[in-house]
Chains A and B, each alone.
Chain A
């Protein structure tokens, strides 16, 4: 993962809403006529996506939150890249 990507700032694309859904007992991503139930790690990453903080910031926060998980840059970046592919998020 290169320096350039670490500085990118992800944000949810308009029309997507991320929230906790008690009935699902999970974080979900809502979009027109659909919903994805997110697994725990996806939920944890998207919880930090606020359109302000860079990938590096997000990774730092998550590493603090889950110290037992070790370095997270690769995992987080892979997920974010995938999320961009799916048009859930975009980078500034």
Chain B
């Protein structure tokens, strides 16, 4: 079918005891393999075993640079030291050190601390991504979404840091992903539905994106059908493929080939109908929901302690939108 990339993510892929075997098979099949891990349960020996099995890339996900804050969100104090150690182990095994941080209104002011930490660790790539608001993050949006002022400050800080790094000849790359709630056009979600990406959930359900499960659509299962028929023939994967499903304003919009009408999950969560244009788009008649969220973010008082606790399923949604 021409798939070239295979990603192990979760949840936490390390709970699979046979992960090294899976990696070896991926390698054997010619895949470029990537592991996204929280680093919990990882050991230097495992990193080496994965390397030997042919793993191409590892990313370590963090919640914040401050152990207290990390503690509050991830619910474990030891988590932080362990992650730092594993970030180092990944680099020692010869991989580039790629660190992902989830940024929200309660840690966005610590951006510099976070980057300082990465610099001390000699990281190669640092992704600072504000979370996308699905699942747990959607329920807690008011407690997570940074205000516009916070975002402007953070962006300026990252730019200034980048200049300092360049001046010092550092190769560390900073990637700052801002929330689409502050855009006027939606992101080209998954590069289009059923266009590039397929993910298999723990129970075997095949999905066109990590959060598609929240949509009122039936998705196929790899235990019942083969990937080829899932990809090409299943109603789930064909549901929003192409652009014939689009209502207005997308239908007659000359940008539909660029953003594919945005994110179906966001449309569903914010408008109640996944067929609608992603309300991030200023042409959407539901764009006021986004504007309201922005206003709310300017005045939000929700403290970190008010966030509802996450279960594993939610944590998956939190990590990667």
A residues at B contact (CB < 8 Å): 13-15, 17, 19, 21, 23-24, 28, 30-35
Contact (Cβ within 8 A) B59 A15: no
Give the interface segment out of B90-98, B107-115, B162-170, B263-271: B90-98
- For the complex with contacts A15-B57, A17-B32, A30-B4, 14 further pairs of A-B residues with Cβ separation under 8 Å are A14-B95, A14-B96, A15-B95, A17-B56, A19-B30, A21-B4, A23-B1, A28-B4, A30-B32, A32-B56, A32-B59, A32-B98, A34-B5, A35-B32
Contact (Cβ within 8 A) B56 A33: no
User: Does residue B2 face the partner (Cβ distance < 8 Å to A)?
Assistant: yes
Which B residue sits closest to A32, measured CB to CB?
A: B57
Q: Choose one: A17, A19, A23; the contact of B2 (CB below 8 Å).
A: A23
Contact (Cβ within 8 A) A35 B56: no
User: Does residue B150 face the partner (Cβ distance < 8 Å to A)?
Assistant: no
- Say yes or no: A33-B1 contact (C-beta < 8 A), given A15-B57, A15-B95, A17-B56: no
The 8 closest A-B pairs by CB, nearest first: A23-B2, A30-B32, A32-B57, A15-B96, A15-B57, A35-B4, A17-B32, A32-B34
- Note all chain A residues with C-beta closer than 8 A to B1: 23
A49 smallest CB distance to B (angstroms): 17
Which B residue sits closest to A13, measured CB to CB?
A: B96
A29 smallest CB distance to B (angstroms): 10
Size class of the contact patch on chain B: 10 to 19
- Note all chain A residues with C-beta closer than 8 A to B95: 14-15
Tell me, in angstroms, the Cα distance from A35 to B197 when the chains sit together: 13
Contact (Cβ within 8 A) B5 A33: yes
Contact (Cβ within 8 A) A33 B4: no
- Note all chain A residues with C-beta closer than 8 A to B56: 15, 17, 30, 32
- Say yes or no: A33-B30 contact (C-beta < 8 A), given A15-B57, A17-B56: no
Which A residue sits closest to B197, measured CB to CB?
A: A33
Q: Offer 8 A-B interface pairs, CB within 8 angstroms, sorted by A.
A: A14-B94, A14-B96, A15-B57, A19-B30, A21-B4, A23-B4, A30-B32, A35-B4
Tell me, in angstroms, the Cα distance from A40 to B1 when the chains sit together: 22
Tell me, in angstroms, the Cα distance from A30 to B54 when the chains sit together: 14
- Note all chain B residues with C-beta closer than 8 A to A32: 34, 56-57, 59, 98
Contact (Cβ within 8 A) A35 B30: no
Which B residue sits closest to A34, measured CB to CB?
A: B5
A82 smallest CB distance to B (angstroms): 17
Tell me, in angstroms, the Cα distance from A19 to B30 when the chains sit together: 8
Contact (Cβ within 8 A) B2 A31: no
Tell me, in angstroms, the Cα distance from A13 to B56 when the chains sit together: 11
Q: Choose one: B34, B94, B96; the contact of A33 (CB below 8 Å).
A: B34
B210 smallest CB distance to A (angstroms): 13
